[in-house]
Structure 1
Amino acid sequence: MNTDYKVGDLIYDANIYDGLNTFLSDLQFYKKWLPKNKDAKILELCCGTGRLTIPIAQDGYNICGVDYTPSMLEQAETKASKAGLEINFIEADIRTLNLQEKFDLIFIPFNSIHHLYKNEDLFKAFNTVRNHLKDGGLFLLDCFNPNIQYVVEAEKEQKEIAAYTTADGREVLIKQTIRYENKTQINRIEWHYFINGQFHSVQNLDMRLFFPQELDSYLKWAGFSTIHKFGGFQEEVFEDKSEKQIYVLKLLTKTELLTELQF
């Protein structure tokens, strides 16, 4: 069994990434949960090219963005500079991040936890959040609600999922194939890229699936209490057919944690 899970370099090409990810349907949700106090400190983990970081900073918030990919951060810094903003973007692995400071709100957006392929990776990331979150602070994250029917259907054939033009003038077409590994809960996704009408490469977009009760338990074991769990960014009730799992969490006190883990 192949355990070399990864995200292909071309997927993290900043212009190709930005051309695909133009939506902001999640922005208002994250803005809603920001502290009213503009002096609050905000930390975004897996910030990418600043799709959410920059508009939050434009609202006057002190926000810091962390990402693992240099090209994404370079793009984020360029966009922030053009907007006249000074944002602290940090290149780091969220599993080992140690900023030696606390934040009022921390969030991991855009399904990023799906690239934490092993439980130990997930718990290291949650430990990073716990170590950087102030008492009384909030932790928000979103990810997919696994749809097994979709995975089964997607395994049958290659499908076109996107066609667009990048800011630097490239015509991009992406076709997708999927193969699901039951043992590891990894969706082995391959994106077949065609650029300017020519086949370019096959890029992996492997994603670990987290089932609802499983993720609820992991968050509890990591020391978080769920304030809300939504099924969409309009704060829809989470239910069987919800596309998303969206959490608003707080830190459990030591007493609360001991009590929770007894059940």
Structure 2
Amino acid sequence: MRIYRPTLTAERTGAEVDFIVSALALPEGAELLDLACGYGRHAVAMARRGFRVTGLDFNPHYLEIAREEARAAGVEARFVTGDMRELGFDGGFDGIYSFFTSFGYFSDAENERVIAGVARALRPRGRFLIDMVNRDWLLTHPQQRTWTQRDDGALLMEEITLDLQSSRVISRQTLIESEGARVQKEFDLRAYTCAELTALLARHGLVRDGLWGGSDRREHSTESRRLILAAALAVDGPREDPR
């Protein structure tokens, strides 16, 4: 959180929430699940707009911050600790969103369990929005090393590579804070093509009906860093359960 939070401004969050509401075509007062909600920046903003929001994350510390943010904003939102591979919800949500590359950190089989759980948690015709790094962009920009000077004086170095055999992204980040302290983080996640992700959703009754290359609604292409898909649950509900 020390690495990213200073860049996640209220203005940026507001623009992303505008996009989520529009892309999901949400009715007033819809019941939503923020999947891997972190410290609740989207969930609290959604609650401010009158939506009934549940945020799920595996990190209790982040969830406590989310609860404090909701109290400070004077809104109601439910935050629960949980593993997205073991979603225990059954058909109660009008919409679910997974934003800021919160999906793909597990094996292919476990990632599929996540999508199966999403489908089970949606009402018929409920909608799902997923935002990920765009694998096609990584193919045309195979090794990325960037240095970013933040407004607070900290310097962030990020190196991103794509393993072509496993189709997994490896990210190494180093934050050098203004007083000289260093924070290092490394993670890897599965990168999907648009076709792969569309097929994965379809196996669980989620039919893609929206595609973008960013929350600014740019076209998805090899030059867009993001892959964002919207899908609707078929009337007959989920089709497969990999368990």
TM-score range, shorter chain: 0.7 to 0.9
**In the alignment, residue 193 of structure 2 is paired with which amino acid?**
F
Please say if residues 116 and 238 of structure 2, whose CA atoms lie closer than 8 Å, have aligned partners that are also in contact.
no
Which residue of the other structure, out of 208, 213, 221, is the alignment partner of 2:195?
213
Q: Point out where structure 1 has 5 or more consecutive residues left out of the alignment.
A: 1-11, 166-170, 259-263
Is the radius of gyration larger for structure 1 or structure 2?
A: 1
Is 2:166 the counterpart of 1:184? yes
Moved over 6 A (4+): 255-258
* Residue-by-residue CA offset, 1:39-73 (whole Å, 9 max, x unaligned): x2111101111111111101111111111112211
TM-score, normalization by structure 2: 0.85
Which residue of the other structure, out of 6, 18, 22, is the alignment partner of 2:5?
18
Counterpart Cα distance in 2 of 1:256 and 1:42: 18
Is 2:221 the counterpart of 1:231? no
Structure 1 residue 173 displacement after superposition: 2.1
**In the alignment, residue 57 of structure 1 is paired with which amino acid?**
A
**In the alignment, residue 20 of structure 1 is paired with which amino acid?**
T
Residue 133 of structure 1 is matched in structure 2 by 122
Evaluate the alpha carbon distance shift between residue 128 and residue 255 of structure 1 in structure 2; reply closer, same or farther with a 3 A threshold.
closer
Evaluate the alpha carbon distance shift between residue 247 and residue 177 of structure 1 in structure 2; reply closer, same or farther with a 3 A threshold.
closer
Structure 1 residue 191 displacement after superposition: 0.7
* Residue-by-residue CA offset, 1:196-254 (whole Å, 9 max, x unaligned): 34252421132321112221221112321111222232434433433322222112355
Which residue of the other structure, out of 137, 142, 150, is the alignment partner of 1:151?
142
**In the alignment, residue 147 of structure 2 is paired with which amino acid?**
E
Please say if residues 134 and 224 of structure 2, whose CA atoms lie closer than 8 Å, have aligned partners that are also in contact.
yes
Counterpart Cα distance in 2 of 1:176 and 1:65: 28
SS at match of 2:116: helix
Alignment of 1:33-182 (within 5 A): 33-38=24-29, 40-100=30-90, 102-115=92-105, 117-146=106-135, 147=137, 148-152=139-143, 154=144, 158-165=145-152, 172-182=154-164
Residue-pair matches, total: 234
TM-score, normalization by structure 1: 0.79
Counterpart Cα distance in 1 of 2:146 and 2:208: 36
Counterpart Cα distance in 2 of 1:255 and 1:92: 23
Give aligned-pair identity as a percent: 22
Structure 1 residue 193 displacement after superposition: 2.1
Q: Point out where structure 2 has 5 or more consecutive residues left out of the alignment.
A: none
* Residue-by-residue CA offset, 1:106-146 (whole Å, 9 max, x unaligned): 1111121143x321121111011111100121111111222
Counterpart Cα distance in 2 of 1:186 and 1:162: 27
Structure 1 residue 257 displacement after superposition: 6.2
Structure 1 residue 174 displacement after superposition: 1.5
Structure 1 residue 181 displacement after superposition: 1.9
Counterpart Cα distance in 2 of 1:151 and 1:114: 19
Structure 1 residues 22-31 or 52-61, which shifts more? Answer: 22-31
Structure 1 residues 142-151 or 129-138, which shifts more? Answer: 142-151
Counterpart Cα distance in 2 of 1:180 and 1:206: 9
**In the alignment, residue 188 of structure 1 is paired with which amino acid?**
I
